[in-house]
Structure 1
């Protein structure tokens, strides 16, 4: 039952983050759909971790080069997700208010993705391990 509550909480967090992103795109003051390109970073951010988890076995004693490279790629993707709205706002493609909404949505979505891997990433009896 705890896994279901966590999954519902994570889906609520994802919905709130996407709501901020949609508000940044569709409010009449902003009316620009350029911030939707951040969705690419939402999809790309968990990929290095998932690929590395399939290729290497999990060891708690030491850090491997594959794991460090995975963290480096994930960090670059997340920072790019925060940097894109700032660059678009600086270039005056989007308004600064829309940039603030996108950055808020980014924070919520990336924390939700991180929480998903914290909750369901360890080996337990829930059954998300084969994914």
Structure 2
């Protein structure tokens, strides 16, 4: 039952994050859909961690494959926060839209982190469920 509550909570927070992203694009005063390119980063960010957990066999705290996955994931997350700033500095989007997209980024990435914390730590969990 706790897994269902966690899944519902994570999906609710993901919906809140996507709402912030869409508000940054679709409000009448902003009206530019360039910030939707951060969806690519949302899709790419968990992939290195999934691969490293699948490939590495030992559960030690330091593993070269896992460290590389953390490095690549960090690059993807920083890029997703950098894209709206670059678009706002170039006057492609307004700064208000940049703030909404950055808020959506924070909520979405905390949701992804919450998924890994809730569903990735137990021994009874298997990746074949997903």
The two structures share one fold, judged by TM-score above 0.5? yes
What are the ranges of 5 or more consecutive residues in structure 2 without an aligned counterpart? none
Distance across 2 between alignment mates of 1:58 and 1:109: 29
Moved over 2 A (4+): 127-131
Measured in 2, the distance between the counterparts of 1:91 and 1:8 equals 38
User: What is the CA RMSD across the aligned residues, in angstroms?
Assistant: 1.1
Quote the residue 1:110 is aligned against: 109
Please give the alpha-carbon distance, in whole angstroms, between the structure 2 residues aligned to 1:81 and 1:105: 11
Shift of 1:44: 0.3
Q: Which residue of 2 aligns with 1:63?
A: 62
CA offsets 1:39-83 (integer angstroms, 9 cap, x no match) = 0000000000001111111413x4111111010000000000000
TM-superposed CA distance for 1:122, in Å, is 1.6
TM-score, normalization by structure 2: 0.95
Q: CA deviation at 1:129?
A: 3.2
**Structure 2 counterparts to residues 1-131 of structure 1, below 5 A:** 1-60=1-60, 62-125=61-124, 127-130=125-128, 131=130
User: Mind listing any 5+ residue stretches in structure 1 that lack a counterpart?
Assistant: none
Give the 3-state SS of the residue equivalent to 1:115 in structure 2. Answer: helix
> Secondary structure of the equivalent of 1:74?
helix
Alpha-carbon distance between aligned partners in 1 of 2:96 and 2:17, rounded to the nearest angstrom: 16
Aligned equivalents of 1:101, 1:124: Cα separation in 2: 38
Q: Secondary structure of the residue that 2:127 maps to in structure 1?
A: coil
